[in-house]
Structure 1
């Protein structure tokens, strides 16, 4: 478990985002048990209260469920699981659009550049020349 924290956002929200990314990519599965709050704090080298706050936020968003003294688990609610990926994509697109709109690039040109860049980056990740 590796999270690279930034100095802009609260740590607990960065932890929530990490879990969302892990769920969206399938590295965390529906119903999968996750570390305890104390274990997570140790793994990520964060304050246990911060881990607790992240878990509380994830429970409120329906990402995880904790029943009694049982370990916390990733939700099995399909609507929540499917919305996570869409939320992350829309967040990235909004950030991108807000930064690039000041350049005033024609949409067709912008889409072509995005497609080429995305394809090249994916090829690099997969070790293609």
Structure 2
């Protein structure tokens, strides 16, 4: 588990984002056990209170659940899992559109470049399989 801590966002928010990205990409499976709060704090060298805050927020968002004294797990709720993926896609698109608008690139040119890049990337991925 590797989280690049930056100075822009609070650490607990970065931990939550990391978990969302891992869920969206399928690296964390529904129902998968996750490290304890203390274990996470030790692994990524953060304050245990920060790990606790991140887990509390993730539980409130429905990303993880904890039953009694058992280890926390990734949600199995398909609706929540789909929302995480949609949220990350939406954020990426918004960031992209904002940066493209700032340099006044026509939409047709952008779309053509995206299609070209996407198909080139897919061909490169197919060769790696």
Give the TM-score normalised by structure 2: 0.90
1:85–1:110 Cα change, 3 Å: same
How far apart in 2 are the matches of 1:126 and 1:54? Answer: 36
How far apart in 2 are the matches of 1:75 and 1:9? Answer: 25
Helix, strand or coil for the counterpart of 2:102?
A: helix
Cα RMSD (Å) of the superposition?
A: 1.7
How far apart in 1 are the matches of 2:14 and 2:90? Answer: 17
Give the CA deviation at 1:127.
6.6
Are 1:101 and 2:101 matched, yes or no? yes
How far apart in 2 are the matches of 1:86 and 1:58? Answer: 17
Deviation per residue, 1:56-88 (Å, 9 max, x gap):
110011000012211100011110011111110
How far apart in 1 are the matches of 2:120 and 2:69? Answer: 47
Deviation per residue, 1:38-70 (Å, 9 max, x gap):
000011111101100110110011000012211
How far apart in 1 are the matches of 2:126 and 2:16? Answer: 27
Count of paired positions: 128
How far apart in 2 are the matches of 1:126 and 1:109? Answer: 26
How far apart in 2 are the matches of 1:7 and 1:117? Answer: 31
Give the CA deviation at 1:99.
1.5
Are 1:76 and 2:76 matched, yes or no? yes
How far apart in 1 are the matches of 2:98 and 2:69? Answer: 44
How far apart in 2 are the matches of 1:2 and 1:123? Answer: 28
How far apart in 2 are the matches of 1:45 and 1:124? Answer: 36
How far apart in 2 are the matches of 1:11 and 1:19? Answer: 13
Are 1:86 and 2:86 matched, yes or no? yes
1:126–1:10 Cα change, 3 Å: farther
